[in-house]
Structure 1
Amino acid sequence: MWHRIADFGNLACWVDGVTDCELDGEGTGAIRTVGLGKHSVRERLEAIDPDSHVLWYRVLEPHGMPARSVVSEMRLTSLGPDRTQIAWVSRAEELSVPAEIFGPRIGAF
């Protein structure tokens, strides 16, 4: 699974709802434009640690999410042969909607 996540510009191949994904640059600092039907969002790779199977990215403004300074982490943890736990966590500031509504809106992406 790590090979899919580490391929920062290939999100459309494994995330439902992503219609296309274009990558500008390579490695840390690369920016991907993620197509979500009629909408798109730009994300910059902040850091990647292949040994720990973790990557961090920032959602670039402007975007359609009801928050500012959105930063996400994707972390893979082996649970044994053929089993992997994926933790995909985002942090944000200045939510313009209550937190209990924000989660489902992000899930809709």
Structure 2
Amino acid sequence: MAKIAVNEDYAATAADVWKKLADFGGLAGWMPGVEKCEVEGEGLGATRRVAMGPMTIVERLEAFDDAGRSLSYSIVEGPMPTQNYLATICVEETGENRCHVDWSASFDLPDGVAEEQIAPALEGAYGGALKALKPLVEA
């Protein structure tokens, strides 16, 4: 199983950052490259169809802990050669008006596809998204 992880520190409350990240249909408002994000259903099992240029990714909400500020989603359809993809986003308060976000994922790859072929693109996308969130939540 392959794994990736990115993180970012924010000069903002965990509640403010979590409000953005917890909005399962709100990706287009802060994640670079997302042109449209449409949600079907509510709560666990809800899916979002994320349009990014010529590609579309369908993700399903697998876990949501509002009090613990974490959520997990799986990729159920998309262009990447991954299987059993599960990503988790966690927001942790680290001080007054300070917090830390971890965004990690694990996935299987088919024979012939190396982790090094996939991981850098995912880390770049997730890391870029967390950096793009900064000006939206920091005062």
* Shared fold per TM-score greater than 0.5: yes
Instruction: Count matched residues.
Output: 108
CA–CA distance in structure 2, aligned partners of residues 43 and 24 of structure 1: 10
**Cα RMSD (Å) of the superposition?**
1.5
Is structure 2 residue 74 aligned with structure 1 residue 31? no
Q: Cα distance, 1:101 vs. partner?
A: 2.4
Higher relative contact order (CA 8 A, sep 6+): 2
CA–CA distance in structure 2, aligned partners of residues 105 and 66 of structure 1: 13
User: Structure 2 residue aligned with 1:51, among 64, 67, 83?
Assistant: 67
CA–CA distance in structure 1, aligned partners of residues 97 and 39 of structure 2: 29
User: Structure 1 residue aligned with 2:99, among 70, 81, 84?
Assistant: 84
SS of equivalent to 2:44: coil
Is structure 2 residue 18 aligned with structure 1 residue 2? yes
CA–CA distance in structure 2, aligned partners of residues 7 and 37 of structure 1: 21
CA–CA distance in structure 1, aligned partners of residues 44 and 75 of structure 2: 14
Structure with bigger helix share is 2
User: 2:48, 2:59 within 8 Å by CA — same for their partners in 1?
Assistant: yes
Larger radius of gyration: 2
Question: How many percent of aligned residue pairs carry the same amino acid?
Answer: 36
CA–CA distance in structure 2, aligned partners of residues 52 and 64 of structure 1: 31
CA–CA distance in structure 1, aligned partners of residues 50 and 62 of structure 2: 16
TM-score (norm 1): 0.90
Gaps of 5+ in 2: 1-16, 127-139
CA–CA distance in structure 2, aligned partners of residues 79 and 16 of structure 1: 26
4+ runs of 1 displaced by more than 6 Å?
none
Which position in structure 1 is the counterpart of 2:121? Answer: 105
User: 2:109, 2:115 within 8 Å by CA — same for their partners in 1?
Assistant: no
User: Structure 2 residue aligned with 1:12, among 28, 32, 35?
Assistant: 28
Gaps of 5+ in 1: none
TM-score (norm 2): 0.72
Is structure 2 residue 83 aligned with structure 1 residue 68? yes
